[in-house]
Structure 1
Amino acid sequence: MVFEEGWATSPLRWLMNALGDAQLQRMAGDPGLVAAVDQHAAWLRDAIPLDRETLGDYLLGFLDELRHLGWSFTGEPDAPSLRLTAVCYLTRELGLLDEGRTA
């Protein structure tokens, strides 16, 4: 994943563009991926309020930790990519990037 300038201004939109659209399409043909992402989404549902601001703040902290660890997206379903895909899934399902929303 490339952290281009301005990624932190709208982290949910950045993640959807960088990873989300492709990963969500990939889920359509991979039931195992759906199950794994659903587990991560359930964890997020239990851990934080699922509003645009809180999910965006969570994403910023999570991405900051991944950058610190030197993690990079390889396309393989490791724990960080599953968590990021779950954020994308929830963002789409909750309509957090619908018109008029900037996160």
Structure 2
Amino acid sequence: MSPLAEISSSYAPRFAEFAFEPAFTAAVDQHVAELRERLGVGGPELHPRPPHPEDLADYALGFMDALTEIDWREPVGHDYAVCRLTAISWLVRRHDLIPEPREPGD
């Protein structure tokens, strides 16, 4: 499974928390903005460009590796890592960055 698919399957369910956790929503929004800047897709446009899937996947792999190194475990609430992983998932969903599986012979 690709890192983007793995993160999305784990953290997209947290989008439901946006309805009743405004602080979490704001934190994820800030992480999305930081990721756009880091990946060079931020800017003054009304509709920012989508990140390149390879760039976001490379970032996600590095972030997950760093979490493994510090033996991070997902908390009950929201910490920096949960917000960042949810932001990655949001970008994936918003820009449809996970391609549909191909049928054999395509």
Q: Quickly name the TM-score band, shorter chain normalised.
A: 0.7 to 0.9
Deviations 1:67-102 (A, max 9, x none): 00010111311111111111011111111124258x
2:60 aligned partner: 59
1:50-89 aligned at under 5 Å gives the runs 50-89=51-90
Report if aligned partners of 2:28, 2:83 keep a CA contact under 8 Å in 1: yes
- TM-score (ref. length: structure 1): 0.81
1:21 aligned partner: 12
Any unmatched runs of 5+ in structure 1?
1-8
How high is the sequence identity, in percent, across the aligned residues? 37
Say which one has the larger Rg: 2
Aligned residues: 92
Matched, 1:99 2:100: yes
- RMSD between aligned residues: 1.6
User: Displaced runs of 4+ in structure 1, greater than 2 A?
Assistant: 98-101
